[in-house]
Amino acid sequence: MHYLSLLSTVITLAFTLAVLSRYSQRGGTHLLLWGIGLALYGLGTLSEVILGSSFNDWVMKLWYLSGAMLTAAWLGQGTVNLLVRRKNLVLTANVVLLTVSLLSLVLIVIQPVDLKAASLYDPTIPASAHNPLMDIPEGIREGRLPAQYQVILGTGGLILVLTILLNIYGTLMLVGGAIYSAYLFFRKNVFLNRMVGNILIAAGGLFPAMGGTFVRAGMVDWLYVSEFVGVILMFLGFLQATASEPVRERQTASTD
């Protein structure tokens, strides 16, 4: 199934370049933050491609840090920078996200790896799937079958809490912000392309957010599908929302 991750990586790379190219032409912190978020998205899917052929503990750490922990939060932070007018609040949120991201990086780097479990890693099944050859570590709730990465990295405690909080924040800001923008354009009957674009971005942002839920429900392959569909919808939404604008005008909300 990792061919889907490869396709997601290629599309995400194109999307990242499109966003950063727009940033280089127009500036705007939100575009830079979206570009960083998309680069993290791509690192996550690229890590899946590599983990689909062989195991490397640093690639697995990169996969968890970029894909599971940081992507949603950085994408959502881009939307916060676009929509929130209070500069002090936005600056504080940026500093908090950067601090939490650095903390996450340190926590993942120092997280010990279960070498015995790592030697049993099966690249033919997703890292988020259960491997029956691996012993179930202590602390796993009864009846739950831990994924390969959970046994190898043991991502519990503060890492788990940060992962969930970062995803709640990022999803709420990215998807909620896109829904809010689409609603404004619809209410005012202006910028049809941006209204449609924001609906696509909202839908696309929800797919990877639900990917974790699919994994928890045992539908591990759906994680790849959700990443693939999610990035396509968001890219289409971005292209639609930024389609030919002869004159730049200040607006309440958009993807600018």
Do residues 125 and 148 make contact, with C-beta atoms less than 8 angstroms apart?
A: yes
Answer yes or no whether residue 192 interacts with other proteins by CB under 8 A.
Answer: yes
Please identify, using beta-carbon distances, which residue of 35 and 205 lies nearer to other proteins. Answer: 205
Answer yes or no whether residue 164 interacts with other proteins by CB under 8 A.
Answer: yes
| Tokens coding 177 | 């912000």
Please identify, using beta-carbon distances, which residue of 59 and 70 lies nearer to other proteins. Answer: 70
Answer yes or no whether residue 172 interacts with other proteins by CB under 8 A.
Answer: yes
Region from 90-98, 125-133, 196-204, 222-230 binding other proteins, contact rule CB under 8 A:
196-204
How far from each other are the two terminal CA atoms of the chain, in whole angstroms? 35
**Based on the number of CB atoms within 10 Å of its own CB, is 44 exposed (0-12), middle (13-18) or buried (19 or more)?**
buried
* Residue with token string 């990169």: 62
Answer yes or no whether residue 168 interacts with other proteins by CB under 8 A.
Answer: yes
Answer yes or no whether residue 68 interacts with other proteins by CB under 8 A.
Answer: no
Answer yes or no whether residue 250 interacts with other proteins by CB under 8 A.
Answer: no
Of 210-249, binders to other proteins (CB under 8 A) are 210, 212-213, 216, 245-247, 249
Nearest distance, CB of residue 88 and other proteins, angstroms: 26
Region from 7-15, 21-29, 84-92, 171-179 binding other proteins, contact rule CB under 8 A:
171-179
Chain centroid to CA 22: how far? Answer: 20
Q: Residues 6 or more apart from 120 whose CB is under 8 A from it?
A: 131, 133, 134
Do residues 86 and 181 make contact, with C-beta atoms less than 8 angstroms apart?
A: no
Q: Quick one: which of 4, 129, 134, 206 contacts other proteins (CB under 8 A)?
A: 206
Among 108, 160, 109, 153, residue whose Cα is nearest residue 134: 153
Length of the chain: 256
* Residue with token string 């909620």: 176
Please identify, using beta-carbon distances, which residue of 9 and 104 lies nearer to other proteins. Answer: 104
Report how far residue 245's alpha carbon sits from residue 221's, in angstroms, rounded to the nearest whole number.
39
The contact set with other proteins (CB under 8 A) reads: 139-141, 144, 146, 150, 156, 160-161, 164-165, 167-168, 171-172, 175-176, 179, 182-183, 186, 189-192, 195, 199, 202-203, 206, 209-210, 212-213, 216, 245-247, 249
